[in-house]
Amino acid sequence: MTYTEVPGIRVPIRMWTDPATVEGAALQQLRNISSLPWLHGLAVMPDVHLGKGATVGSVIAMKGAVCPAAVGVDIGCGMSAVKTSLTAEDLPDGLSGLRSKIEQAIPVGRGLHTDPVDPAKLHGFRAAGWDDFWQRFDGVAEEVKWRRERAMQQMGTLGAGNHFCEVCIDTSGSVWLMLHSGSRNIGKELAEHHMGVARSLSHNQGLVDQDLAVFLAKTPEMAAYRQDLFWAQEYAKHNRAVMMALFQDVVRREFAKADVTFDEVISCHHNYVAEERYDGVDLLVTRKGAIRAGSGDLGIIPGSMGTGSYIVRGLGNAASFNSASHGAGRKMSRNAAKKRFTTRDLAEQTAGVECRKDSGVVDEIPGAYKNIEKVIDQQKDLVEVVAHLKQVVCVKG
């Protein structure tokens, strides 16, 4: 489908979904965003739903301003995936052992590594710039510097919520590895610090929603946020790269006889800020639950822990600010899912997937998410499908 234009307060809202299907609270959130005087444009993806700070599935393009709460607390959250030389026939009938070994190699939930991962010991890991990256930690906000040790120990860890590691099979029978995570606790603490600073600034006092407080260009507050923001986005990218290297090592050992090889890793942020140019204007583009889908860009759009995912190639649609959805999108809150579904429902909806099926992940049940096939269909002018994957192992925190 092409987008539907919905009236906003200052700027019209371009929606790649039926506006009638968007919950009222999310629509109001989008209208609030459209009222910002710094806004250049607002695009809404088919996985749109109510979020904290700003609507999930929105692309917020501003001139000379950025909203830290719109980026959110998981700065740089995103996906990585890689195709392996394994096929479905190479996998054993029982996958619980493989799942256990993945969980042993990659700490989940609030877990961390006892000692920081040494990139020099990771097979094929590209460690260029690693020391420089950690030296730049000395430049982050003073209030967060004391978290250095924890940040180093959490590098290469999964987290909880909707983060996951998966073994998947595509429609041709090839095995893929996929994971979803971000900047862990260090990103959260940096985000919360800067959101507090933004709310205190005088130019934000008249906003309809204090969560939309912004930093303005050529101010010390903006300079400090940009430094920490881009460092945290880099942390998230490194975090996924370390996890993927650990994940690949597990698979190499588990299938040593197959001499496993891997294609180039596909990686994309979906909670982040990028400096881009549209309509002849330099903009700060915040993708809040959206991936970059410039012409030829490879991206990853996951469904849920029982429905599979898509590898896509961007078509470069400038109307969406070269963006696409970051997943299926929730159709109900976590609390609503816990009230509606049981562990029996979870077991039924994840049949055939080696994964947790306990009350701790009921809020991640496939039934709490939108139909991923419909979401993909609604953005045919944004991306083309490269591969359709279905998970057989799903690790969650």
Catalytic residue annotation:
326
At 241, the amino acid letter reads A
304 is in an annotated binding site: yes
294 is in an annotated binding site: no
396 is in an annotated binding site: yes
- The region, left, alpha or beta by phi > 0 then psi within -120 to 50, assigned to residue 156 is left
360 is in an annotated binding site: no
331 is in an annotated binding site: no
326 is in an annotated binding site: yes
Q: Which tokens in the block code for residue 106?
A: 């990659």
268 is in an annotated binding site: no
The answer to whether 266 and 383 have CB atoms below 8 angstroms apart is no
232 is in an annotated binding site: no
133 is in an annotated binding site: no
166 is in an annotated binding site: yes
Task: Please report, to the nearest 10 degrees, the dihedral formed by the alpha carbons of residues 326, 327, 331, 334 taken in order.
Answer: -90
Rounded-to-integer distance, Cα 199 and Cα 187, Å: 18
Among 212, 227, 271, residue whose Cα is nearest residue 38:
212
Rounded-to-integer distance, Cα 74 and Cα 60, Å: 17
Q: Where are the alpha helices (DSSP H) in the chain?
A: 24-34, 68-71, 96-105, 130-135, 148-154, 184-200, 220-254, 334-340, 343-349, 372-377
163 is in an annotated binding site: yes
Rounded-to-integer distance, Cα 62 and Cα 120, Å: 40
3-state DSSP assignment of residue 167: strand
Q: Which tokens in the block code for residue 283?
A: 């903009």
3-state DSSP assignment of residue 352: coil
74 is in an annotated binding site: yes
As annotated, the binding site includes 74, 162-166, 180, 270-271, 302-305, 309, 326-329, 396
As annotated, the binding site for GMP includes 162-166, 270-271, 302-305, 309, 326-329, 396
As annotated, the binding site for Mn(2+) includes 74, 163, 180, 270
